[in-house]
Amino acid sequence: MNGADSDTPNLSGHVPGEPGLWVLIFGDLLVFGVLFVTYAVEFATNGAAVHLSQIKLDRGLGLANTALLLTSSWCIAHAVIAARKGLPQVRRFIWAATALGVGFVGVKIAEWSHHIGNGDTLNSSSFFTFYFMYTGIHLLHVLIGLGVLTWLGLRCAPDGRWTGSFATLEGSAVFWHLVDLLWVMIFALIYLLR
Amino acid sequence: MTWYSKRLTLFWLVLVAISVLSFESSLFGSRYAAGIVIVIGLVKASIVGREFMEIRAAPLVLRLLFLAWTLILGGALLGVIYGLRP
Amino acid sequence: MRNGALKLSVFAGPLWGTLFFIALWPLMHIFPPYSPMNSAAQVAAHVREYQTGYLVGGILLMTASAIVWPFIAIILLYLRKIERGFPLWTTVTALVFTYGQVTVFLCGLAFTMAAFRPDASDELIRAWSDLGMFLLVIPAIPGTTQYLATGAIILQDDRPRPILPRWYGYLNIWTGILSAPGAVVGLFKIGPFAWNGIAAFWIPAVVFGVWITATQIVLLSAIKRNALQDNQP
């Protein structure tokens, strides 16, 4: 079979999740937009000091976390596809997405402990304030998302199918993709932008 | 796994590939490096939004709002970085 | 139940907001807040200059914390209506609301203390004024619990026509997440996360403004369609 693309045209004009959810999604995008521009101002006006702290970041760990969240997104998207097709793999994909999300948290904790161990903490420098606070606010999103994913996983039917509301499953997936999207931007701005 | 989405898998591969390939882009050393990093980040964010969040197939309002977010944020970031940097 | 009384209760919310704003802006001149970097002499001079404003503003803040209850009660009545069985999360919301208003009262009291004896030392005046600033911004911590609990209750509603609209549930979650950065102002004297910074003050302030406006609209429209008498299964 050629994959699931045959069902995409049916989605035309469909609001992913439910309309109300987009208040949260766009509200978050808007506020993170303001936060990103705030960082850009600091980067542009105080570049030399930012650079001194920024070179201490392990960009490889940032890249690893990007790959974890992108793959987690792929998994939850496939949980939604499996649910639309009535397949029993929904639960498996939800747990896979959850496990990858937990991996993200693990990498983040290792990264934070490394910096704190080196004496770079929340207010050691303006860059580390941005780093810890932005990744911290993002981590709050990750933890809320993991809570939602766990709840979804427990609500699957015993055979692993999704019998609950599609809007709930889809909406939760959209939130999880938002967490991914915000991380992609944080990775670009905080880790890669020199 | 005969039912997986080829399209999503392809975009996932593209995203991971861009992430790996753009890893050193900030070290290109030219004054355009910052711009390249930001544009690549926003392209990745748009792919996540359009393909994974399914904004691609959503009503026009959602598509326009998301496009506006991407363009305004991109404009603001590039404007700040190239406008304020000494 | 008389809808007139319910509608009147909703206006305790904007009245609370108005008293708050009058206290902070024209009376105490701390909107936008003074910088945490200011020296004791600078802060003490500010408090002495607006001494009467601080004292009257303190009274307004304490009054605000006392007259807001009809607004809170009506939110809770709707949440109680939505939540089936034991009203666990409604009770959580009610308790956190209560504790949040205690911080508003104490905030007014701290500003009163700062201005009560203008002949006190600069350091003492600044300490009380700083406490007032903390009590203004840091209660975002309990606020986050309250908004997330409210959002969870509204999104649990499985009635075909929800008692409160679902977008308002998501708005509460958004408000909860973005109030959280107010928690860290004790760590910073400068930058976006200081108590006059964009992330710890302006974003939570704007988000809160959106929340209280949306809450009034949602409550008034729910009263209009008699949602408390709703008998959907």
Q: What six digits make up the tokens of B47?
A: 């792919």
C193·A34 Cβ contact <8 A = no
Q: What six digits make up the tokens of C24?
A: 């902070």
Instruction: Tell me which DSSP letter residue C169 carries.
Output: H
Residues A174-185, mean pLDDT to the nearest whole number: 98
Cβ burial, residue C200 (10 Å; 0-12/13-18/19+): buried
Whole-Å CA distances, C109 to A76, C12, C27, C65? 50, 21, 15, 11
Query: Apex CA B79: angle with CA B62 and CA B38, to 5°?
Result: 65
* Distance between CA atoms of residues C5 and C46, nearest Å: 42
Is some CB atom of chain B closer than 8 A to the CB atom of A75?
no
Residues A65-77, mean pLDDT to the nearest whole number: 98
pLDDT at C226: 87
* Distance between CA atoms of residues A101 and A176, nearest Å: 10
The phi and psi torsions of C157 (rounded to 5 degrees) equal: -60, 115
Whole-Å CA distances, C169 to B5, B17, C12, C156, C222? 32, 38, 21, 9, 14
Task: Check if the beta carbon of residue B27 is closer than 8 Å to that of residue B19.
Answer: no
Spell out the residues 6+ positions from residue A179 whose beta carbon is closer than 8 angstroms to its own: A69, A138, A141, A142, A145
pLDDT at A113: 96
Residues C13-30, mean pLDDT to the nearest whole number: 95
Confidence label for C198 from pLDDT (cuts 50, 70 and 90): very high
pLDDT at B22: 81
In angstroms, the separation between the Cα of residue B48 and the nearest Cα of chain A is 6
* Chains in contact with C, counting 3 or more C-beta pairs less than 8 Å apart as contact: A
Residues A106-112, mean pLDDT to the nearest whole number: 97
Q: How many angstroms separate the first and last alpha carbons of chain B? A: 54
Chains B and A touch (3+ CB pairs under 8 A): yes
Residues A142-160, mean pLDDT to the nearest whole number: 96
**Longest pairwise C-alpha distance within chain A:** 57
- In this predicted structure, the answer to whether residue A2 has a pLDDT above a threshold of 50 is no
* Distance between CA atoms of residues A187 and A184, nearest Å: 5
Q: Which residues of A touch B12 (CB under 8 A)?
A: 70-71, 73-74
Is some CB atom of chain B closer than 8 A to the CB atom of A6?
no
- pLDDT tens for each residue of C147-193: 999 999 999 998 999 999 999 999 999 999 998 888 899 999 999 99
Q: Which of B25, B58, B86 sits opposite A192 (nearest CB)?
A: B25
A5·B7 Cβ contact <8 A = yes
Whole-Å CA distances, A144 to A96, A189, C167, C188? 17, 23, 18, 26
Its sign, for the CA torsion A128, A129, A130, A133, is positive
Task: Name the CA radius of gyration of chain C, rounded.
Answer: 19
Percent of chain A at pLDDT exceeding 70? 94
Q: Which residues of C touch A123 (CB under 8 A)?
A: 187-188
- pLDDT tens for each residue of A78-88: 999 999 999 99
Closest CA to C13 of C92, C84, C97: C97
Encode chain B (86 residues) as per-residue pLDDT tens digits: 688 999 999 999 999 999 998 887 666 667 788 898 999 999 999 999 999 999 999 999 999 999 999 999 999 999 999 998 87
The H-or-E segment that residue C177 falls in is helix C166-179
b/e map C113-130, b = 16+ CB within 10 Å: bbbeeeebebeebbbbbb
A137·C180 Cβ contact <8 A = yes
Q: Tell me the pLDDT of chain C averaged across its residues.
A: 94
Q: Which residues of C touch A21 (CB under 8 A)?
A: 166-167, 170
Crossing angle of helices A59-84/A90-117, nearest 10°? 160
Residues C42-65, mean pLDDT to the nearest whole number: 97
The phi and psi torsions of B28 (rounded to 5 degrees) equal: -60, -25
Confidence label for A124 from pLDDT (cuts 50, 70 and 90): confident
C-beta atoms surrounding C164 within 10 Å: 24
* Distance between CA atoms of residues C58 and C77, nearest Å: 30
Spell out the residues 6+ positions from residue C87 whose beta carbon is closer than 8 angstroms to its own: C79, C80
Instruction: Tell me which DSSP letter residue C32 carries.
Output: S
Spell out the residues 6+ positions from residue C69 whose beta carbon is closer than 8 angstroms to its own: C12
In angstroms, the separation between the Cα of residue A24 and the nearest Cα of chain C is 5
* Distance between CA atoms of residues B64 and B70, nearest Å: 10
pLDDT at A7: 46
* Distance between CA atoms of residues C171 and C213, nearest Å: 11
In angstroms, the separation between the Cα of residue A100 and the nearest Cα of chain B is 15
Task: Check if the beta carbon of residue B48 is closer than 8 Å to that of residue B66.
Answer: no
Q: In this structure, which amino acid lies at residue A98?
A: T
Alpha helices in B3-32 (DSSP H): 6-21
Task: Check if the beta carbon of residue B38 is closer than 8 Å to that of residue B74.
Answer: yes
Q: Which residues of A touch C188 (CB under 8 A)?
A: 123, 129
| Mutate: best of B20, B23, B54, partner A, most A CBs <10 A | B54
Instruction: Tell me which DSSP letter residue C34 carries.
Output: P
* Distance between CA atoms of residues A86 and A89, nearest Å: 9
* Distance between CA atoms of residues A137 and A130, nearest Å: 10
Confidence label for A9 from pLDDT (cuts 50, 70 and 90): very low
- In this predicted structure, the answer to whether residue A4 has a pLDDT above a threshold of 80 is no
Chains A and C touch (3+ CB pairs under 8 A): yes
- In this predicted structure, the answer to whether residue C19 has a pLDDT above a threshold of 50 is yes
Q: Which of C177, C184, C203 sits opposite A34 (nearest CB)?
A: C203
Q: Point out the least confidently predicted range of A7-11, A72-76, B33-37.
A: A7-11
In angstroms, the separation between the Cα of residue A95 and the nearest Cα of chain C is 22
* Distance between CA atoms of residues C88 and A162, nearest Å: 27
Q: What six digits make up the tokens of C190?
A: 């400068």
* Distance between CA atoms of residues B2 and A64, nearest Å: 28
pLDDT at B28: 62
